[in-house]
Structure 1
Amino acid sequence: MKALVLAGGTGSRLRPITHTAAKQLVPVANKPVLFYGIESIVAAGITEIGVVVGETAAEIRTTLGDGSRFGAQITYLPQERPLGLAHAVLIARDWLGEDDFVMYLGDNFIVGGITSLVEEFRAERPDARIVLTRVKEPSLFGVAELGPDGQVVTLEEKPRHPRSDLALVGIYLFSPAIHDAVAALEPSPRGEWEITDALQKLIDSGRTVRSTLITGYWKDTGDVPDMLEVNRSVLEGIESSVEGSVDEASELVGRVRIAPGARIERSRIVGPAVIGADCLIRDSYIGPSTSVADRCLISGSAVEFSVVLQDSRIEDAGRIEGSLIGRSVQVVGSERRAHAHRLVLGDHSEVLINT
């Protein structure tokens, strides 16, 4: 069995962060989102991985390498434009051959991994298996309608009038039967080759399409609120570890992870929180659900429920919460002080805040 990982999207909902970085590489608890997916694929016993890449291909190749760090072998599959999930299957046809495969959207996050899904698929061998979850706004997703016996009856991409509240999660398991269905597709009104249309062709031709309903934690990390929520969820599971230095005037409360080379001076850190390598946290408060990446400086400020990417500097900025701050950002306070700031800043930004 192989895995097809989609990492070619533009990440428009995470701009300006994704103007200069792949959305799949934005870190959660100081580790790129894409890593969690690949690790769960390898944990399920799948080591041949094809990664579909687009305009951020160079960055993704540099970060993932040949896959050996994960115990896998990665093949890169260029996609000129993101033209739908079924289009990714189409361009990967030669590489996939006649193998079963799991298709995993690189910006999705599911707690507990996919091992049980893969084992179930291997045991039952349907033509396809989809993963569903109940959502409040199904019109934003691909939506499935199930029959009385639980079989998948219809699938529709972002319907105006959803027939159910069952949304497709970004994990699909396929037999080679999917290729004929994909080959018969035409672009949808959105101009994309929809995987929901391909699955519907399987159903209409009498093929077996089964579903698994998950009730655990799943998120599409495509926008800032979901990214912060996934970061919070992952941090809930960390163990305390102090490999950097913490002076006597500082206090660590709860589960806090301090990476090597980081220095904590006259500060209070309340976990769950992670501080990256070679950071300096001085005269500051770092609150729960916060990740600070490598080589950041935070001085005279309070940061809570936020993600701060590497090489950023926050000084005398008052209180920052619910924020995603990009790489090499400078947030510097001035004289007038606000109670709190909510920020989404792109890489290499520079902000002057009245404090």
Structure 2
Amino acid sequence: MKALILSGGKGTRLRPLTHTGAKQLVPVANKPILWYGIESIVAAGITDIGIILNPETGDEIQAKTGDGDRFGARITYIIQDSPDGLAHAVKVAQPFLGEDPFVMYLGDNLIQDRLDEFLDVFKGQQLDGVILLKQVPNPTAFGVAEVDARGRVLQLVEKPPVPPSDLALVGVYFFSPAIHEAIAQIQPSTRGELEITDAIQQLIRTDRAVEARQLQGWWLDTGKKDDLLAANRIILDTQLEADIAIAVEEGSQVLGRVRIGEGSVLRNSTVRGPAAIGRNCHLENCFIGPYSSIGDGVTLIDADIEHSVILEQAKIEGIDQRIVDSLIGERSHLKLAPNRPKALRFALGKDSQVELV
């Protein structure tokens, strides 16, 4: 059994942050989104993993993620020269996949459920496809599945104006090698892409066994700023373990579940969890409120932050207003004068500099 993680998207919905970086490396609770998927796959016992990259951000992802040793896996990187659809990505990866069954996982998704139970269904019933679904309140925004009482997939519809159900495809699929033949038989969609939904529909038309299973836990699509902040909040709520690797200076306090990395300094500052602070950070005269993640090497002076994600090496200083619901890119420098509004919201890409006067 192999795994294929699709990490080639350009992240247009997360711009400006992803103008200069891969969206799959944007951190949630100080860990790249991509790594959650890798860890979930390895936990299911699958250690031979291919990762689809695009030429623009592939080197960055490969340098950050490595050869898989840190995860107990072996990673093979595969370049998809143009974004021609999910089924096209499978086609590009066919030399790696060979005749092995595989799980396909979209690299910007997070799911709470373990993959083991779905893998057991796929293998135990010798199916050609298992798709994972989640009930959503707005099915017109997603690919939607119609299934019968036994869980067999009857049809898939992409963003239907009149949905046949409220069951959205979450971006995790299990396939037998039959998917390659199905992809060879489909044509590009009106978007000019080879759609995985069309390939699954082809499996169904040729009487291949395709079933669906619903997720019981949460599913997080981190494609937009607010989605990413929501993911950060949920991960901090459900998975953060308190771990303070430093001595907290007199005049500072840490309340609730907080993780602070080695080499960081808290001076006259309060951190109220759940919150995660990376290594070698400098916090002075700060309040860090719940659901905040502060990356490695961040400097915060006279800052008041809540429900925000601050990436590595960013610097924020001279603030007497609260920053909320914000995403601040790597090495960004934010400096504000007094007499600003009571709350400020930002979405800044790498190396930004902002000064409000």
Distance in 1 between residues matched to 2:61 and 2:79, nearest whole Å: 12
* Alignment check: 8 A CA contact 2:151 2:213 kept: no
Please provide the CA RMSD for this pair: 1.1
CA contact (8 A) 1:245 1:261 kept: no
DSSP-derived class of the 2:105 partner: strand
Deviation string, structure 1 residues 297-325 (Cα, Å, up to 9, x no partner) = 11111100000001111112221000111
Hey, what does 1:27 align to over in structure 2?
27
Identity within the alignment, %: 50
Query: Does the 8 Å CA contact 1:245/1:262 hold for their aligned counterparts?
Result: no
Shift of 1:193: 0.7
For residues 241-320 of structure 1, the aligned pairs below 5 Å read 241-317=243-319, 318-320=321-323
Question: Hey, what does 2:76 align to over in structure 1?
Answer: 75
- Return the TM-score normalized by structure 2: 0.97
Q: What residue is the counterpart of 1:327 in the other structure?
A: 330
Aligned twin of 2:205: 204
CA contact (8 A) 1:262 1:279 kept: yes
- The amino acid of 2:346's aligned partner reads L
3-state DSSP of counterpart to 2:41: helix
3-state SS of paired residue (1:206): coil
Query: Within 1, Cα distance between the matches of 2:46 and 2:149?
Result: 33
Mapping of 1:1-355 within 5 angstroms? Answer: 1-54=1-54, 55-236=56-237, 237-317=239-319, 318-354=321-357
Q: Is the 8 A contact 2:111 2:219 kept in 1?
A: yes
Partner of 1:21: helix, strand, or coil?
A: coil
CA contact (8 A) 2:310 2:327 kept: yes
| 3-state SS, counterpart of residue 261 of structure 1 | coil
Local SS of the residue matching 1:246:
coil
* Count of paired positions: 354
TM-score by length of 1: 0.98
Q: Aligned equivalents of 1:304 and 1:83: distance in 2?
A: 39
State the Cα distance separating 1:150 from its structure 2 match.
Answer: 2.9
TM-superposed CA distance for 1:192, in Å, is 1.1
For each residue in 1:124-179, what CA deviation from the matched residue of structure 2 results, as whole angstroms up to 9, or x when unmatched?
12110000001122122111011243321110122232221110011000001111
The CA deviation string for residues 223-259 of structure 1, in whole angstroms up to 9 with x for no partner, is 1111111111111121211112321101111001110
Task: Rate the CA distance shift 1:142–1:44 in 2: closer, same or farther, 3 A.
Answer: same
Q: For 2:340 and 2:66, how far apart are their aligned partners in 1?
A: 45
Distance 1:261 1:288 in 2: 22
Per-residue CA deviations over 1:97-134 (Å, capped at 9, x if unaligned) read 11000000011101133122212211112110000001
> How far apart are residue 214 of structure 1 and its match?
1.1
- Structure 2 gap ranges (5+): none
Instruction: Give the Cα separation in 1 of the matches to 2:212 and 2:354.
Output: 47
Q: Give the partner amino acid of 2:64.
A: T
Amino acid at match of 1:285: F
Contact map agreement 2:113 2:215 (CA 8 A) in 1:
no
CA distance in 2, matches of 1:123, 1:44: 15
